[in-house]
Amino acid sequence: MKRTIFIVFLLFAFCFALPAYSETGKKGKCNTEKKKVAIGSAFYEQGNLKKTLIGRLQERGYEVKDFTEGDPAKKLDYPGIADQVAAEVSKGNYDKGILICGTGMGMSIVANKRSRVYAALVEDQYAARYSRIFNNSNVLCFGQFVTAPEKAVDILDTWLDTKFADHPKWGEYCRDVALPQITAIEKKVFK
């Protein structure tokens, strides 16, 4: 009985009393990331970008759900897939989303129509890093016509490993000024 109480106390102390930091940099919260990723593509099996990214996510311990559904004989329309993935991220059912279309532009435009979705189209590791640091991006968009699978894996790893506001000069501004302004705009737009 004493051992159980001690273990419960340690868990409580770890989660609430110690200065643990959540992604937003606020003290007193445990990292509750579910490590769940929603993925969707405007392609069924043309190229292997989606397959490569799913494999990498699974290697890293993420639970991945592919929202690329429909009749393979028919053309896939990216808006519906992008909206479905973005809706899941917006609702909090998935921590992050990955979207793939020809250039990535269409997917990012559609995904950003949802509240609490910050979709970033990136083509290199630098943009991936700063989309997380400055913009708290939670949906990563790729262009299958412009990004090779091997390069996409490097971009994905950088994006997953980078924390929001983790910058010595601009981190505090991003967290305490920019993100609250974005949230205020969202509240006006998504009434």
CA–CA gap between residue 119 and residue 138 (Å, rounded): 6
R_g of the chain computed on alpha carbons: 18
Q: Can 15 be counted among the known catalytic residues?
A: no
The one catalytic residue in 15, 30, 101, 174 is 101
Cα–Cα distance between 188 and 178 in angstroms, integer? 16
Paired strand residues for 120: 140
Q: Residue 66, class by beta-carbon neighbours within 10 Å (0-12 exposed, 13-18 middle, 19+ buried)? A: middle
Q: Distance between CA 121 and CA 105 in Å, rounded? A: 7
The one-letter code for the residue type at 15 is: C
Q: Which residues are catalytic?
A: 101
